[in-house]
Structures are given as C-alpha cells and as structure tokens.
Amino acid sequence: MKDFLNYDDVYETFLNLFKETVESYGMDYGSWESETEDYAATSAMEALESMKKYVHRKDTKMCGNFCNIREDWEYCPEFIGSEVQPWGKFDDVIKSIDDETISDEDLKEFQTWAFDWYFRAFGTFGLTYNFGNWISDLEYEREKEKQDAA
C-alpha cells in the first residue's frame, strides 16, 4: 500500500529535529544516536498511520486548528501553489492512492504537498517538546544508575 506521506522524508525531518534537541540540551548526540534514531523511526511510523486515518475521515476539521487538509487541498492557493488544483478533488486523489492507480510521479507530488501541509498544520514544537521530555527522562535514569553504581 502506498503512503500519504513519504516515510524517508518524515523520518529524516524528525531525526534532524531530535538531533538538534539533544544538542540544545547540551548532551552528546553520539551517546544518544541509537535512541534518537529509534524514536524518530517510531514517530515517523506514527505520523504515517495518523495521516492515513486522518485523510479517510469524513470530516477533516480539527478542533483548535484552522487547517483542514480537504479544504486546504481544494480551496487554498497558498497550500497548492495555484488557483486550480491540477489533480482534482481530494477524495478522488485519496481513492487513487488507496487503489494504487496513482502514478509514482503524482504520488510523489502529493506526498511532497502533504508533507508541507503536515508541518504547516502541526509545526514542530510538540514533536521536539515530547522528545525533549523523553530524552531528559532517559538522561535522568542514566545519571541515577551511575550514582547508584558508585
């Protein structure tokens, strides 16, 4: 099955965000590389699964967020780059992805658009905040283990 976001693009973006977070905490990234890669991989898979569920909802409005992928696709030139959507209605595009009848070129273009939309809609604060909390807890546990061992 084809994904609505490109996994590699999402993973690399998350990994870079999380690497910057580790470094901004003054931690040595090398000692957290494996954990950071695992967290980025898990987060990327969760993003793909969430997007899959979201694009199939009948109502794509989000409480507390003005973005709506269906409306942004069909009516917002700033999201699509032109006044007219060249690929047709949102539901038709989603169906062609589900049916795997979309060309690889059109799929890549949709994934690029959806990737940009995803980060405009959700930003990165929540991702780095949650990761920062997670990595801080791990660092605390590492330090506690060192003290207990001494």
Q: Say whether pLDDT at 92 is over 60.
A: yes
Query: Is 139 part of a structural domain of the chain?
Result: no
Q: Say whether pLDDT at 87 is over 70.
A: no
Confidence of residue 80 (pLDDT cuts 50, 70, 90): low
Query: Is 144 part of a structural domain of the chain?
Result: no
Query: Is 128 part of a structural domain of the chain?
Result: no
CA dist., res. 135 & res. 17, Å (int): 13
CA dist., res. 21 & res. 132, Å (int): 6
- Predicted pLDDT of residue 1: 65
For residue 14, give its domain range: 7-123
What are the structure tokens assigned to 136, written together?
């801080």
Query: Is 74 part of a structural domain of the chain?
Result: yes
SS3 20: helix
Confidence of residue 62 (pLDDT cuts 50, 70, 90): confident
Query: Is 44 part of a structural domain of the chain?
Result: yes
- Predicted pLDDT of residue 72: 82
Query: Is 79 part of a structural domain of the chain?
Result: yes
Query: Is 148 part of a structural domain of the chain?
Result: no
CA dist., res. 121 & res. 124, Å (int): 10
Q: What is the pTM of this model?
A: 0.83
Lowest mean pLDDT among 8-12, 60-64, 78-82: 78-82
Confidence of residue 89 (pLDDT cuts 50, 70, 90): confident
- Predicted pLDDT of residue 71: 83
Q: What is the pLDDT of residues 107-145, one digit of tens each?
A: 898 898 899 889 888 888 888 899 999 999 988 998 999
